[in-house]
């Protein structure tokens, strides 16, 4: 099955700086890569996703890049704000008709005011 | 629009007791999922239902059963709870494979 590695496990940045979280996946045929944000005690919420036919996607201060050759994808948050503090999870959907998302173990982002 | 609703929000059980976690969605989604979340482990898929009338095992199905009651509802049952099943359980739904999954607020389950 798919295996997703996520780094770093914790990340602290100063307010206004950029944050980058990286994930690698094992199944070269995986074709859907969502990112979720989870605030303490809350549900995971989708913040951005990308499909394998696209190399980059941007939504205001958030962007995701995908490198299919290297089998890795990254989340970029620019101009970080204290409300960006949360745990972020990447995931990959297995190939074919699979319904399974395999999640990384999460990155705890702390934005220091 | 409630999205995905889970009940109960909290539960404490004794080892060996049984319990059913309920999940309902109002987005007319075809697919529904049950995950467990443990510290440092991310989200792991227990079971999923691609469409009404079908269920399949995920990564960690042992000790659990599921029922897709209708298109809206997908329940998770623990027949004989064990301390290792102490976790936060999330239900999610999506229109189909490869579409965004929407999560409920979770059920925090402790087994003593």
For residues B6 and B107, what is the distance between their CA atoms, to the nearest angstrom? 7
pLDDT tens-place string over residues B61-89: 999 999 999 999 999 999 999 999 999 99
Closest residue to B97, CB basis, from A43, A91, A99: A99
Closest residue to B41, CB basis, from A43, A99, A105: A105
pLDDT at position B1, please?
63
Q: What percentage of chain B reaches a pLDDT higher than 90?
A: 90
The set of residues, in sequence order, having a beta carbon less than 8 Å from that of B64 and lying 6+ positions away, is B34, B46, B47, B76, B77, B78
Which chain A residue's Cα is nearest to B34? Answer: A100
Q: Which residues of A touch B54 (CB under 8 A)?
A: none
**DSSP assignment of chain A, as one string?**
---EEEE-SEEEEETTS-EEEEEEES-TT--EEEEEEE-TTS--EEEEEEETT-SEEEETTEEEEEETTTTEEEEEE-S--GGG-EEEEEEEEPSTT---EEE---EEEEEE-
Closest residue to B97, CB basis, from A49, A98, A105: A98
Mutation pick from B42, B47, B94 vs chain A, by most beta carbons of A within 10 Å, is B42
pLDDT at position A99, please?
83
Q: Which residues of A touch B98 (CB under 8 A)?
A: 31-32, 51, 93
Does residue B90 carry a pLDDT above 90? yes
Does residue A74 carry a pLDDT above 90? yes
Give the residue, B46 or B98, on which the prediction is more confident. B46
pLDDT tens-place string over residues A88-113: 999 999 877 778 899 999 999 999 99
Beta bridge partners of B89: B36, B107
Mean pLDDT computed over A77-95: 95
- Cα–Cα nearest to B94, from B27, B23, B22: B27
pLDDT at position A95, please?
76
The set of residues, in sequence order, having a beta carbon less than 8 Å from that of B78 and lying 6+ positions away, is B13, B18, B19, B20, B21, B63, B64, B85
């Amino acid at each position: 099955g798919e295996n997703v590695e996520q780094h770093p496990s914790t990340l602290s940045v100063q307010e206004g700086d950029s944050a980058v979280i990286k994930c690698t996946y094992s199944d070269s045929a995986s074709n859907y890569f969502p990112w979720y944000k989870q605030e303490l005690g809350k549900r995971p919420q989708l913040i951005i996703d990308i499909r394998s036919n696209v190399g980059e996607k941007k939504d205001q201060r958030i962007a995701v890049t995908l490198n299919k050759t290297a089998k890795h994808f990254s989340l970029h948050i620019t101009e970080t704000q204290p409300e960006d503090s949360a745990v972020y999870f990447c995931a990959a959907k297995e190939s074919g008709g699979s319904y399974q998302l395999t999640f990384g173990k999460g990155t705890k982002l702390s934005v220091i005011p | 629009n409630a999205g995905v609703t889970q009940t109960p929000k909290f539960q404490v059980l004794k080892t060996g007791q049984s319990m059913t976690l309920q999940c309902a969605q109002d987005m007319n989604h075809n697919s529904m999922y049950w995950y467990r979340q443990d510290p440092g482990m991310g989200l792991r898929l227990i079971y999923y239902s691609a469409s009404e009338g079908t269920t399949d095992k995920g990564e960690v199905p042992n000790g659990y059963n599921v029922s897709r009651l209708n298109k809206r509802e997908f329940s998770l049952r623990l027949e004989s709870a064990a301390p290792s099943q102490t976790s936060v359980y999330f239900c999610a739904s999506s229109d189909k494979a490869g579409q965004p999954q929407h999560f409920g607020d979770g059920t925090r389950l402790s087994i003593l």
